[in-house]
Chains A and B, each alone.
Chain A
């Protein structure tokens, strides 16, 4: 189910964002799991702070990339929410 634009996403309290020096990529680490992130994924998650809404995150990134990224951001965070990494 897609998250709504006024939803405030939070990282699962047992997950943390790290940088993997071997792969030179950001990675989300949590019990028994790891998700390697691309730059876009990391850019989204760096804005997940338990305060910003999905809509606000999309707005910040939209300004940065000079294009409407609402659908991409919503889909990405909804996918992580489905795996309970975003709550």
Chain B
């Protein structure tokens, strides 16, 4: 083996979704239903992933429940020994489908919650969804799935982090992921409306840290500071092409969900190549392995073994060159880009909603 074995496959089964969240991690150019992989394609990809060493499978989207073959895919994944998580909005999870997923051997369901305040939650999702989410969560609990709640944090809900934590606790979540908005694609487009103030972030951290202790052994709480507010960049997915593979709805295989935004690289699809070839040989996956690609200050920095120079997608999006240091890092002159964004953050409260076709809608 010339590279590490991957542990995780995120299968973006579709980009179709009933929600329009303005921080969606899907790319701006959403893939249409007629370009999606078939059931057999996905099964082949899962099998190849397991043979390559993948242990964890995320059945994600868009909204994966839009795919009528989700149960069949979940059963295949369980049959070959993958641990599967369904990453869902909850919309479309009927009793019949929930039972079929349980019977297929799906183990873990992660449901997104937009806010603890109903009006705000529906404004963020751009659609009425709270009632349907509660019904879905009731089924997840009743049928005994391992259950996580995921909340994307930003300016409009960060002050309610305490309420969000207690809501998740009350709903019986085993895990709560408090994920700060990442500014790629839709998130970057909406950055000025999403970016919290430093004061909000520090208060939220205090509340989260106290809650982590309070909920110990009842609910696992994951809270990571937003990278814009940190001194050093995040070690994105443990390094480029090291642990993680994303397969987009059209079969394009990527080292992370935003990698396609780096237009200087190209990524092959699982229609043309095996996942093994893509992982081992494809130029896109090899591009930022190791440290030969690094420029200063990364090249001679002792932190390169810790954060691998940070996020390549962020470096490309904000500096125009994916081999630059992640501008979050205070050791690079590009840091001023982040500081300017932080200073501008309070300007707008208007979202540009995620839509699959036509012109973007405004709130």
Give min CB distance, A13 to chain B, whole Å.
8
Residues of chain A from 26 to 67 with CB closer than 8 A to chain B in the complex: 27, 29-34
- Return the contact of B146 from the options A14, A20, A34 (Cβ within 8 A): A14
Which residues of A lie under 8 Å from residue B107 when comparing CB positions?
31
Hey, what's the 0/1 contact readout for B215-259 against A, CB within 8 Å counting as 1? 011001000000000000000000000000000000000000000
Q: Judge if B114 is at the interface, Cβ distance under 8 Å.
A: no
Q: Which of A22, A23, A32 contacts B148 (CB 8 A)?
A: A32
Q: Tell me the smallest distance from the CB of A25 to a CB of chain B, in Å.
A: 10
Interface residue B156 (Cβ < 8 Å from any Cβ of A):
no
A29 partner, pick from B83, B110, B174, B216, beta carbons under 8 A? B83
Partner of A32, one of B5, B50, B51, B85: B85
Interface size on B, residues (CB 8 A): 21
CB distance from B328 to the nearest CB of A (A): 24
* Interface-central residue, A18, A30, A32, A34, by most chain B CB under 10 Å: A32
- Interface status of A74 (Cβ within 8 A of chain B): no
Interface of B is mostly: mixed
Please tell me which stretch of B52-60, B185-193, B265-273 contacts chain A, meaning at least 4 of its Cβ atoms lie within 8 angstroms of it.
B52-60
Chain B residue numbers with a CB within 8 Å of A27 are: 55
Contact B51 A84 (CB under 8 A): no
Q: A34-B7, A84-B217 are in contact. Are A22 and B51 (CB under 8 A)?
A: yes
Contact B53 A22 (CB under 8 A): yes
Asked whether A23 and B53 contact (CB < 8 A) given A31-B148, A87-B217, the answer is yes
Which residues between 25 and 61 of chain B lie within 8 Å of chain A, taking CB atoms? 50-53, 55-56
Are A32's CB and B175's CB within 8 A? yes
CB distance from B11 to the nearest CB of A (A): 14
Shortest C-beta distance, B218 to chain A (Å), equals 10
Q: How large is the interface on A (under 10, 10 to 19, 20 to 34, 35 or more residues)?
A: 10 to 19
Chain A residues with CB under 8 Å of B217's CB are 84, 87
- Pick from B148, B174, B220 the residue with the most CB of A within 10 Å: B220
Please give, as numbers and ranges, the residues of chain A lying within 8 Å of B205 by CB-CB distance. none
Q: Is there contact, CB below 8 Å, between A22 and B52?
A: yes
User: What chain A residues lie within 8 Å of B53 (beta carbons)?
Assistant: 20, 22-23
Residues of A within 8 A of B174 (CB): 14, 31
**In the complex, are the beta carbons of B220 and A84 less than 8 A apart?**
yes
Interface string of B139-173 (1 = CB under 8 A from A): 00000001010000000000000000000000000
Residues in B neighbouring A14, C-beta threshold 8 A: 108, 146, 174
- How far does the alpha carbon of A22 sit from the alpha carbon of B52 in the complex, in Å? 7
Chain B residues near A23 (CB, 8 Å)?
A: 5, 53
Asked if B138 is an interface residue, CB under 8 A from chain A, the answer is no
Residues of chain B within 8 A of A18, CB atoms compared: 81
- Tell me which residues across on chain A come within 8 A of B81, comparing CB atoms: 18, 21
Bound state CA distance, A72 and B269, in angstroms?
46
> B83 — nearest CB in chain A belongs to which residue?
A29
A34 CB to closest chain B CB, in angstroms? Answer: 4
What B residues does A34 contact at CB under 8 A?
7, 55-56, 83
Contact A33 B51 (CB under 8 A): no
The one of A22, A32, A87 in contact with B56, judged by C-beta atoms closer than 8 angstroms, is A32
Find chain B residues with CB under 8 A from A29 CB.
Answer: 55-56, 83
Given A31-B175, A34-B7, verify A84-B52 contact (CB < 8 Å).
Answer: no
What are 15 pairs between A and B in contact, CB < 8 Å?
A: A14-B108, A22-B50, A22-B51, A22-B53, A23-B5, A29-B56, A30-B83, A31-B83, A31-B107, A32-B56, A32-B85, A32-B148, A34-B56, A34-B83, A87-B217
Closest 9 CB pairs of A and B: A31-B108, A34-B55, A29-B83, A14-B146, A22-B53, A31-B146, A34-B7, A87-B217, A84-B220
Q: What residues make up the interface of A, taking CB atoms closer than 8 Å to B?
A: 14, 18, 20-23, 27, 29-34, 84, 87
A-B contact sample (20 more), CB < 8 A, given A31-B110, A84-B217: A14-B108, A20-B53, A20-B55, A21-B81, A22-B51, A23-B5, A29-B56, A29-B83, A31-B83, A31-B107, A31-B146, A31-B148, A31-B174, A32-B56, A32-B85, A32-B110, A32-B175, A33-B56, A34-B56, A34-B83
